[in-house]
Amino acid sequence: KEYQNLLYEFDGGIGIITINRPKALNALNGATMRELNELLDVIAQDPSVKVVIITGSGEKAFVAGADITEMQSMSAIEGRNWGKLGQAVFDKLENLPQPVIAAVNGFALGGGCELAMACDIRIASDKAKFGQPEVTLGITPGFAGTQRLPRLVGKGRAKELLFTGDMIDAAEAYRIGLVNKVVPPEELMAAAKAMAQKIMSRAPMAVQLCKAAVNEGMDMDLQSAVAYEAEVFGLCFATADQKEGMAAFVEKRKANFTGK
């Protein structure tokens, strides 16, 4: 299917989503958000997609935020509904069965930083810039940035970024744990694909269950979360890949996982 504001390509098990509104630095308007929502439903149901990569088109921006021109004249009710739509789409992204890597190629501001944070792993170009500049516009973040940012970098650093609206570069984002890795711009997609390939070489069910255990468990108290982990761990022993993975180790050969 053709999208107006997204590109979607499939490359050997990897689904690559490109936010594609370069004239507005890939700002997320309503139409883009609805298309992303639709595409995520398709990907969630497509077992041939093993890992997803999200990036922005052009040299300059990952996503420079929610579209300010569209928000300018919103009423309070419209603002709340816009926030709820974005929150729901990013929640769908965070809980996609497949691992999702953000390849942050440039500005990741406001809703763009929130989009990156809803991904499982963030790899940044050394030209990338991060920030939550909402307070410079008279608003708060609205796509769960006030919640995902402190969970990733801690309350103190999150509040500094939220209250000042300051932009930080990729090296600082790496230092505070907002990104996993920083690479030169020309190596960004190769680095994201290499990580995707490595993840794809592991037992697929085990990878998906790791994701579920982290996502579900982080919203529970520790006792419930470790109980959930025990169930997930037990479930692995019902898979062919557990038999294969352990047999391969004992036989000193490479495992050949089937995702069964």
With CB under 6 A as the rule, give the number of residues binding ligand HXC. Answer: 22
Alpha-carbon gap, residue 34 to 3, rounded angstroms: 10
| Minimum distance from residue 164 beta carbon to ligand HXC (Å) | 13
- Across the chain, the runs of DSSP E, i.e. the strands, are 6-11, 14-19, 51-56, 61-63, 100-104, 107-109, 121-125, 129-131, 167-169, 181-183
- Side-chain-side CA neighbours of 188 within 13 Å: the count stands at 27
Piece of the chain touching ligand HXC by CB under 6 A; list 115-123, 130-138, 227-235, 236-244? 130-138
Q: Residue 2 Cβ, how far from ligand HXC at the closest point, in Å?
A: 23
Query: Which one of 104-112, 219-227, 229-237, 246-254 is the stretch in contact with ligand HXC (CB under 6 A)?
Result: 104-112
Residue 149 near ligand HXC by CB under 6 A: no
Element (DSSP H or E) covering residue 153: helix 145-153
114 is catalytic: yes
Stretch that binds ligand HXC, among 24-32, 120-128, 203-211, 235-243 (CB under 6 A): 24-32
Q: Is 128 in the site for ligand HXC (CB under 6 A)?
A: no
Site membership for ligand HXC, residue 83 (CB under 6 A):
yes
Which one of residues 93, 134, 162, 179 is an interface residue with ligand HXC (CB under 6 A)?
Answer: 134
Active site residue 231: no
Q: Does residue 56 touch ligand HXC according to CB under 6 A?
A: no
8 Å CB contact between 36 and 63: no
CB atoms within 10 A of CB 167: 17
Tokens 């109980």 locate to: 227
Is residue 73 helix, strand or coil? coil
User: Applying CB under 6 A, does 67 fall inside the site for ligand HXC?
Assistant: yes
Enter the tokens of residue 97: 């069965």
CA proximity to 142, closest of 124, 162, 160: 162
CB of residue 92 vs ligand HXC: minimum separation in angstroms?
16
- Catalog residues that contact ligand HXC under the rule CB under 6 A: 24-25, 27, 64-69, 82-83, 86, 107, 109-111, 133-134, 137, 141-143
